[in-house]
Structure 1
Amino acid sequence: MIVGIDLGTTHSLIGMHTADGQVLFPNPHGQVLTPSVVSVVDGAVLVGQAARDRLVSHPQASVAHFKRWMGTHRETRLGEHRFRPEELSALVLRTLLADAEAALGYKVEEAVISVPAYFSDAQRKATRAAGELAGIRVERLINEPTAAALAYGLQQREQEGRILVLDLGGGTFDVSILELFDGIVEVHASAGDNFLGGEDFLQVLVQAFKQETGLDTATLDGVEQAQLLQRLEQLKRELSARSLVELEITLAGRELKWSVDETRYAQLCEPLLQRMRAPIERAIRDARLKPDALDDIILVGGAARMPMVTRLATRMFGRLPLRHINPDQAIALGAAVAAGMKARDSSLQEVVLTDVCPYTLGTQVSRMGPDGKERSGYFHPIIQRNSVVPVSREDVFHPIHAEQKFLRIDVYQGESPTVDKNIKLGELQVPLTTREGEGDRSVTTRFTYDVDGILQVEVTENASGKRHELVLEQNPGVLAPEQIRQRLQALDALKIHPREQQVNLALIARTERMYSEYVDQRDQLQGWLLQFREALESQETQRVERHRHELSKALDALEGVY
């Protein structure tokens, strides 16, 4: 059985397709949303809600939003360990898999994982590496907007249709235009912003709060900064349902009161909304469609709950977007459908899913200026962005100088006319065996890009027919196979708490987080925590369960959760 996974910036989910539809597996807290947060305590690793609570109480030992760092060499120090983004993602994947295996009763070994449509080659390969580090085989990476379309049943339509999917998650914004015809779901165009999401809308509130209260956040310690972010995140969520929200908080010895209404918040976020318009317009332009040619607009992603996002889509397309499936769950449900298709589930209609190359791929060339002087550093596209994959394109190149003995084919990814603003993926040195005056010294260069994100570069000397090849399976910032094996051994050596203890550890983390927030209740919270720790030390199952239930109820009452 293959599972579908939404490996998100703020939350992650796991599910599978059954004869009765898609099922999402809950974590030990009964929630299908598992926070994408990792924390280290006493040499042990916490993942999920417990780690999220420790973001407030122990911010230096906890980390979130590492999906934004995928495909880079960035490392995060937690305790005595240093983690790459792939390893942090692998820890989240392991937790999700444990939840699925607890529900299913058997080991899960294969998965379909969703990724932002605008993820680069390096980011996609880093996601595959995370799956390998987590001990699963990644059967396919599916673009998040494509997964959303599957969740809305695009593949079940009897008539042809075009759908625009807007996916605003915690850390990324994706736009895709898809079309269904003859049992094929084809992506026409993808665009997006890998650094625009709910976290950026949260930072708008942070800046407004600082400016209007006169608070200097540099005077706050790590716990207070994390507490402020947590409270403003809660305020942001409340603004999706209420027109006016007030905040009272004590920071740096000051009691601060602040209020903001949804209209004011939308005005503050106008620069972000303008950033959203650009990839939407680019996708429509690339697909060569007019807005009225779209049959449906789908809005997904947790941040899509904000009324200002719905208004933006409504203004741009003159109609309300579809949002009847839980925006937080749509990607995971679609990934589960894709997993069922991959497993050839008999209850699913046979559909062919196509994808596109999200970025332009090309090489560096030199050009002659008006003054006759040679200028290097120009980008020459070979495979244009949004080409349906698999795709293969070729072009002919000539040496500039008669005495050249080598021709270097640099491989770049990006949309800038100059290579210095694009990403270099690799290079191939081609010796020119034909001398000047002996015949054709040109070479034919072919780029071939497949659905697994592997780019093959073939260079053929036209005079001799001699062929040179470069296969780019690795990118800068991506782990090599030997590195993955070494990192896997290191992860296996980590002390990970057993799943049956996670619910207790999460309750401790929640109590510690509330201790840092509810100053007037600290004595009571400390007493409750002491009693619960004593119950855990007894190792008496019934006593632990009783104390856990009582502590949970007390904390719910204190936070007003019913």
Structure 2
Amino acid sequence: MIVGIDLGTTNSAIGIWRDGTAQLVPNALGDLLTPSAVAIDDGGAVIVGMTARERQSTHPTSTVTAFKRWMGTRQTVTLAGKTFTAEDLSAIVLSSLKADAEAFLGEPVTSAVITVPAYFNDRQRKATRRAGELAGLTVERLINEPTAAALAYGIQDRSEKEPFLVFDLGGGTFDVSIVEIFDGVIEVRASAGDNRLGGEDFNDTIIEVARPRIDPEGRLAEVDPLVLHELLRAAAERCRRTLSEQEEASFTITSGDRQFATTVTAGEFEAQAAPLLAKLRDPVLRSLRDSDIRVETLSEVILVGGATRMPIVRKTITRMFGRFPNAAVHPDHAVALGAAVQGGLKSRDADLEEIRLTDVCPFTLGVDNSAPDGRGGFRHGLFSPIIERNTPIPASRVSYYSTLSDNQRNVEFGIYQGEAREVQGNVKLGSIKVPVPPAPAGHVHVECRFSYDTSGLLEVDISVPASGLVRNLVLMDDDEAPNAKEVEARRKVLAALKRHPREDSHNMAVLARAARCYESFIGERRDMVGKWTAQFEAALDGQDPRVIDSARAQFEDALNQLEGDRYL
């Protein structure tokens, strides 16, 4: 069986295709969403998911979230003396999801389809694939998140559908895809997006509104910056979610025995977030232009991603398209469900025999080139596209080039991905050099063919007709990526990390939540949390499973009454 995984910035989920339907797999807490959070406890053991996220404000130096935004970079974080890359942290989350699926299915899980933002570049995609390998998974395919959501939407009703737009705003990224369904084919017409726009950025706008009010005298300057950052972030998250249902919300943090609080209204939030809302427009317009589809001909606008729950986002979408969006698919579940469907397609499940999925290349691929500068010389470092963005894949395209100088001995192509006119503004994927026979400038021609497949594999073929020389380069990884031995060594290190037993997860999550609540409140409410914690710890010491389950249920009910249901 091939599982489908939505590796999200805020939350992740794993799904399976079984008995003719896609379904999500519950984690050890019984939840369908697992926060993309990793922590190291005082004993050096790894904690993943809700327990880790609850610890973020109480243990900021040993907890990390939103690391998906570092994928494809060299950025690292040190937790309890251990250094991790974004790939390592993602692999830890994937390992936790893998364990959940194995517990649910009662059999090993070795293969997966993993989703990525449509606008992830080549390095980010390969980093995601390596994270899957580090988690002990064979990554059968990477699938774009809005494409997966469209697959989940299309599988609900397999009738033909006019072009519709998938609007996917998650915790850290924004993607748009235009999709059409006909004759059992789910065809992606165009994709666009912004890898640095999501719910986390809207949280920052709330902090910008609230912080000057809660601390006009600058007393919070005494607080450790890392601790303060997490306190503000958690308060902003709670405030933003409340504003999705109410016209105003409290923004409150507690530091020591002092509490800092203010109220943020929906109007203030919308005004502060106006620049972010404006940034939603460009990817939509780009996808419409690239697909040559007019906005009025779209049959639906499908909402995906937890951040689309915000009324200010839905209001912006309604204004943008002149209609109300469709919230028929679950915004947090659609991507994982679509990945599960893709897993079923890869497994050639009989229920999916009539379904085919086509996707597009999200970025333009090309080489560096030189052009006459009008003064007898050449301007170098210009981008020459070979496969344009939103070309249906798999695709193969060819372009022709010639030598620049007399008796030139070699031609070197730098291979790039991006949309900038100058290659320095794009992502370099590699290079290839070929010898050419000496001849006057412009007399030796070189053929450059790019072939790009559905797994994101780019193959470059260079041929020189004058000499019959052929060179081939398969860009399976970037130059800075670890080699196979290094990946295997990292996998062993991650696998050797101490982990808490899965059956203890629920108790750990409740205690982590209680610790956060204790620090969040003052006075009588803080005292109550301390009393409840002591009672639950006493039940744990008794080691009677029935007593522990009963005590935990009472503990959770008490915490829910204190602060509302635990949010995801």
TM bucket by the smaller chain? Answer: over 0.9
Measured after TM superposition, the shift of residue 524 of structure 1 is 4.4
Is 1:338 aligned with 2:342? yes
Greater Cα shift, 33-42 or 79-88: 79-88
Cα offset for 1:174? 0.1
Change (3 A) 1:354 1:540: same
Is the CA contact (8 Å cut-off) linking 2:122 and 2:429 kept in structure 1?
no
1:161, CA displacement in angstroms? 1.9
* Residues 57-98 of structure 1 deviation map (CA, whole Å, 9 limit, x = unaligned): 101100000111111122111112111111111111111121
Q: C-alpha separation between the residues in 2 aligned to 1:3 and 1:151?
A: 14
Alpha-carbon distance in 1 for matches of 2:539, 2:264: 44
Report the Cα distance in structure 2 between the residues aligned to 1:294 and 1:431, rounded to whole angstroms. 51
343-352 or 79-88: which moved more?
343-352
The answer to whether structure 1 residue 2 and structure 2 residue 2 are counterparts is: yes
Secondary structure, counterpart of 2:57 in structure 1:
helix
Is the Cα contact below 8 Å between 2:154 and 2:186 reproduced in 1? Answer: no
Q: Superposed, which structure 2 residues align to 1:421-500 within 5 Å?
A: 421-432=425-436, 434-436=437-439, 440-476=443-479, 478-500=481-503
Name the structure 2 match of 1:227.
Answer: 231
Question: In the alignment, which of 384, 399, 415 is matched to residue 388 of structure 2?
Answer: 384
Length-normalised TM-score, structure 1 = 0.95
When structure 1 is superposed on structure 2, of 506-515 and 250-259 the one drifting more is: 250-259
Per-residue Cα deviation, 1:191-249 (whole angstroms, up to 9, x for no partner): 00000000001100011112344555644323343222212211101111111223344
> Which has the higher mean CA deviation after the structures are superposed, 166-175 or 530-539?
530-539
Residue 151 of structure 1: aligned partner = 152
Q: State how far apart, in whole Å, the 1-side matches of 2:434 and 2:470 are.
A: 9
TM-score, normalised to structure 2's length?
A: 0.94
1:499 and 1:470 map into 2 onto residues whose CA distance is 44
Aligned residue identity for 2:35: P
Size of the aligned set, in residue pairs, is 561
Distance in 2 between residues matched to 1:560 and 1:313, nearest whole Å: 29
Alpha carbons 1:266, 1:308 under 8 Å: kept: yes
Residue 36 of structure 1 aligns with which residue?
36
Contact 1:71 1:476 (C-alpha < 8 Å) held by counterparts: no
Cα contact 2:231–2:253 (8 A) shared by 1: no
Which residue in the other structure is 2:514 paired with?
511
CA distance in 1, matches of 2:561, 2:249: 21
Q: What secondary structure, in the 3-state scheme, does the structure 2 residue paired with 1:325 have?
A: coil
Q: Distance in 2 between matches of 1:407 and 1:59?
A: 52
C-alpha deviation, 1:284, in angstroms: 0.3
2:24 partner letter: L
* Structure 2: tracts of 5 or more residues without a match: none
* Alignment pair present for 1:310 and 2:314: yes
Q: What is the aligned-residue RMSD (CA, Å)? A: 2.1
User: Per the alignment, do residues 70 and 476 of structure 1 end up closer, same or farther by CA in structure 2, a change over 3 Å counting?
Assistant: farther
CA drift at 1:499: 0.5
SS class of match (2:39) = strand
TM-superposed deviation, 1:376: 1.1
Runs of 5+ consecutive residues of structure 1 not aligned to the other structure: none
> The residue matched to 1:56 in structure 2 has which SS?
coil
For 2:283 and 2:457, the matched residues in 1 are separated by 25
* C-alpha contact 1:57 1:516 (8 A) present in aligned 2: yes
Question: The residue matched to 1:359 in structure 2 has which SS?
Answer: coil
Distance in 2 between residues matched to 1:477 and 1:64, nearest whole Å: 24
- Identify the residue that residue 278 of structure 2 maps to in structure 1: 274
Of 545-554 and 311-320, more deviation after overlay is shown by: 545-554
Q: Is the 8 A contact 1:155 1:185 kept in 2?
A: no
Return closer, same or farther for 1:170/1:131 CA change in 2, 3 Å cut-off: same
Write the deviation string for residues 428-468 of structure 1: whole angstroms up to 9, x where unpaired: 11112x12259942211111111111111111112011111
Decide whether the 8 Å contact of 2:190 with 2:288 is kept in 1: yes
Query: Do the aligned residues in 1 keep the contact of 2:209 with 2:269 (CA within 8 Å)?
Result: no
Give the equivalent residue in structure 1 for 2:118: 117
Tell me the alpha carbon deviations over residues 143-181 of structure 1, each in whole angstroms, 9 at most, x when there is no partner.
111111122226843335211111000000000011222
Residue identity in the other structure for 1:496? R
Distance 1:437 1:265 in 2: 65
The 5 A counterparts of 1:65-80 are: 65-80=66-81
Task: Kindly state the Cα deviation for residue 105 of structure 1 after the two structures are TM-superposed.
Answer: 1.6
